[in-house]
Amino acid sequence: MSVSLDTPEDIANWLRRHFVGQTFGCVRFWQFALVRPNDQFFQLASVTLAGDRLDLHLRHADGQGEAGVVSVWQPMGLSPRPHGVALSAAARLSWGNSEAWQAGEGQYRIRTPRGEGGFAIEGAPALTLEC
């Protein structure tokens, strides 16, 4: 499916209509997997928008509580995928104790409870939610 969604409002509306309730097992900020792929499964419970920040409210797929909120500042370029969605660009992302942000042309930095580092974006989407 080819969809070109480049405004936070359009992205939020598409996610509300087509992705709320979908199950996925991988959350990546650029190339960095925040949990091991398919180690846990999540569902998008709801989507809110505050200015240019998109908040994706997640719950555990087994119904055992909230998994937190993935926040995306200046999201652009939503792409549906066969088993999820991706956002091509963002200025900053956060989820719990993990955050990532663009740090110059073609670079991003990420901070997690395991440490902090910088990496090349290398064409990777800013956010990926998929199995």
**Residue 104 domain-assigned (yes or no):** no
**Residue 118 domain-assigned (yes or no):** no
Alpha-carbon dihedral sign for residues 15, 51, 25, 2: positive
**Residue 115 domain-assigned (yes or no):** no
pLDDT at 131 over 90: no
**Residue 84 domain-assigned (yes or no):** yes
Q: What is the pLDDT of residues 39-79, one digit of tens each?
A: 889 999 999 999 999 999 999 998 887 889 999 999 999 99
**Residue 50 domain-assigned (yes or no):** yes
Whole-number percent of the chain with pLDDT over 70: 97
- Alpha-carbon distances of 55 from 31, 105, 119, rounded to whole Å: 20, 25, 24
**Residue 100 domain-assigned (yes or no):** no
Total domain count, the chain: 1
Prediction pTM value: 0.92
Range of the structural domain that residue 16 is part of: 8-95+124-130
pLDDT at residue 3, as a whole number: 58
Mean pLDDT to the nearest integer, 87-112: 95
pLDDT at residue 1, as a whole number: 47
**Residue 54 domain-assigned (yes or no):** yes
**Residue 89 domain-assigned (yes or no):** yes
Specify the CATH number for the domain of residue 68: 3.20.190
